[in-house]
Amino acid sequence: MDIPARNPRFVVEHFINRELSLLQFQRRVLAQAADTGVPLLERLRFLCIVSSNLDEFFEIRVSGIREHIRLGGNAASDDGIPPAELFARISGEVHELLAGQYALLNDDILPALEREGVVFLRRGIWDEAQDAWIHDYFRREVIPVLTPIGLDPAHPFPRVLNKSLNFAVELEGRDAFGRNSGAAIVQAPRVLPRVIRLPDKPGQAPYTFVFLSSILHAHVGELFSGMHVHGCYQFRVTRNSDLFVDEEEVKDLRAQLKGELQQRHFGDAVRLEVADNCSEETAAFLLQHFRLGRADLYRTPGIVNLVRLMQVPDWVDRPDLKYPAFRPGLPGALERRAVFDAIRGQDILLHHPFQSFEPVIELLRAAADDPLVVAIKMTVYRTGTDSVLMEHLVRAAQKGKEVTVVLELMARFDEEANISWATRLEEAGAHVVYGVFGYKVHAKLLMLVRREDDGLRRYVHLGTGNYHPRTTRFYTDFGLLTCNERIGEDVAEVFKQITGLGRASTLAHLWQAPFSLQPNVVAAIGREAEIARAGRRGRIIAKINALLEPETIEALYDASMAGVDIDLIVRGPCALRPGVPGLSENIRVRSVVGRFLEHHRIMYFHADGENRVYLSSADWMQRNFFRRIEIAFPVLDPRLKRRVMKEGLRAYLVDNSQAWEMQPDGQYRRKAPRRAARNAQSMLLAELAAKNRT
């Protein structure tokens, strides 16, 4: 992770730190877990999401800051906070966040689940039958796969995988060989489940679970016969997981990445989590071994990896404790006509997850089978290990169609899945390219070329989210299906740039990073400022996941000072300070956190009544504008433009149930309904999902 140096052109007081703003987002997610209006098992899920988010935060963001400090860097970023000070503030914020998280788990959520018959058995309350079953499970399922390591000169400290569950054991006595190192490490293999469900008998409730850590704590003595166990303490290490590939040295990106991925599990340690009962001696020993300081130690009053509880809601068959199920709807045009006929007749807008992603899958399935389709081109960033879309691409290539897939190998944490798909696609005869080295391909593009009576016609899908059928069920995103000739030409040009060589061309409709996207965004903001200075109405609304790019922020400040009315819906980190007199008093920033992950990126510019609307794959960040291949595309159909405004912007601006308003100091205040409650996601479900819900 690179940390951009501060640009002296910008005033430090104008910016909020990215990492601290990101931790504010985690607080908003944690508030969902605390909200008693959220179904109980979903509250547990939100609690786990916070832990998962913090894992990635340490693996990427904190590891980058630590590396910056290690190399002697002292330059502050645009917010003016030096790296060492930022690291200290992050440590304090995360310790406070974790204290609230575990208090919520132990004092609220687990007792509430127990009242509903979902019980997590603590060791101290096992009855005789439960103890017997657990002991049998330990001997039958656990002992055969454990390898306890006594620490002595012949047995050095074992390599500890990133985020794995481990136990430090304090021992007394001598073993069969007369050894007494006093310490051992027990690593829990990843093949062992971290949460185990007991059978109905001896279970004491409809759903009775026990943690693997509790089982191992109870019977760890059996691993060290004849010795006395003084203490057994869970610990977990988070490591630097950012990948580094040297552009000057790499010859084969896929081969180079395979080597890097093998080392990801053993990067430099950045965080040590231990159970709160861990002795000071053991904690100090672990910190020393992993070369960490006291600020890197996080004591947890409970299991050290709450992410492992993420599966529990799926195991518990209690619909009353979860969000109501729904069936995504379909646009009317696709209910009445075959997919190619429907797209040829009109542009079609899909709003996920309220509307189904199935039309995109159907389009690719039809293309694979249709003899008139001669070529398929697609960008893939994240798609998952089991993707029906990729299977259709493989099948199309096997049928002899010209299939080109731009597969982003550097999609963080999806590299292994993408390497696997690259191999399968090439074996099927598809052309697989990995984009442009140094620029991640994050644009969401699918283009089909079909031979029809009047010649070749391009059918295009443009999206704000990944081609990942699973995440489309809980990420909010827009997708546009069109055979607009000029848009098709633009998409073809983008593919030509990525797969071939040549200078960037001027595109008719698309804004493309790293060339025209940021300049066009800044110019569109500037035009609204000029309109406002001329005494006419200036209006900007944008919905994005992150707002960090300083030139764009300064353009928004300038527009605000010119009198432009600006609403920003920013889910995650936001470096802009809203509501500052004389600077941003016409800017409001809100964040909406709810059942679905807000993911679509939308730009609206009033433009003297032209009402220009763009959808995009890009957030307003330096990496998206300058180090990625991204696109923004216009919504040209007036009917669809009104839909985007209504569903993607206005619904979120009137939300008073899941919305948080950002304050000038970077803190957030949750909106409270004064009269009728309005929840954007619930309203969209009611309007767009299939009426016969299942």
Active-site positions read 442
DSSP string, 481-532: EE--HHHHHHHHHHHHHHHS--PPPPPSS-EEETTTHHHHHHHHHHHHHHHH
Question: How many beta carbons lie within 10 A of that of residue 30, not counting itself?
Answer: 21
179: left (phi over 0), alpha (psi -120 to 50) or beta: beta
Rounded Cα distance between 512 and 631, Å, is 5
β-bridge partners, 352: 477
DSSP string, 67-85: HHHHTT-----TT---HHH
**Residue 157: which of 187, 188, 194, 189 has the closest Cα?**
187
Q: At 43, which helix (H) or strand (E)?
A: helix 40-56
Can you read off the two tokens belonging to residue 204? 């004491």
Contact predicate 506/532, CB 8 Å: no
83-104 and 63-70 helices cross at what angle (nearest 10)?
150
The residue behind tokens 């656990």 is 142
232 CB-side CA count, 13 A:
20
**Residue 556: which of 525, 521, 600, 515 has the closest Cα?**
525
DSSP assignment letter at 663 = P
Contact predicate 255/249, CB 8 Å: no
DSSP assignment letter at 387 = -
Q: How do strand 118-120 and strand 207-211 relate by DSSP bridges?
A: parallel
Question: How many beta carbons lie within 10 A of that of residue 449, not counting itself?
Answer: 19
> Could you check whether the bond before residue 202 is cis, i.e. omega within 30 degrees of 0?
yes
Rounded Cα distance between 582 and 594, Å, is 33
506 CB-side CA count, 13 A:
2
Rounded Cα distance between 327 and 170, Å, is 54
Residue type for position 622 = Q
Rounded Cα distance between 232 and 218, Å, is 9
β-bridge partners, 481: 348, 461
Rounded Cα distance between 25 and 30, Å, is 9
The residue behind tokens 């132990």 is 106
Q: At 404, which helix (H) or strand (E)?
A: strand 402-407
**Residues in Cβ contact with 318 at an 8 Å cutoff, skipping those fewer than 6 apart:** 41, 116, 118
DSSP-H helix ranges across 270-410: 280-289, 312-315, 332-336, 339-345, 358-369, 388-398
Report the sign of the C-alpha dihedral through residues 632, 641, 575, 683, in that order.
Answer: negative
> Could you check whether the bond before residue 514 is cis, i.e. omega within 30 degrees of 0?
yes
β-bridge partners, 120: 209
Considering just the CA atoms, what is the radius of gyration of the chain in Å? 27
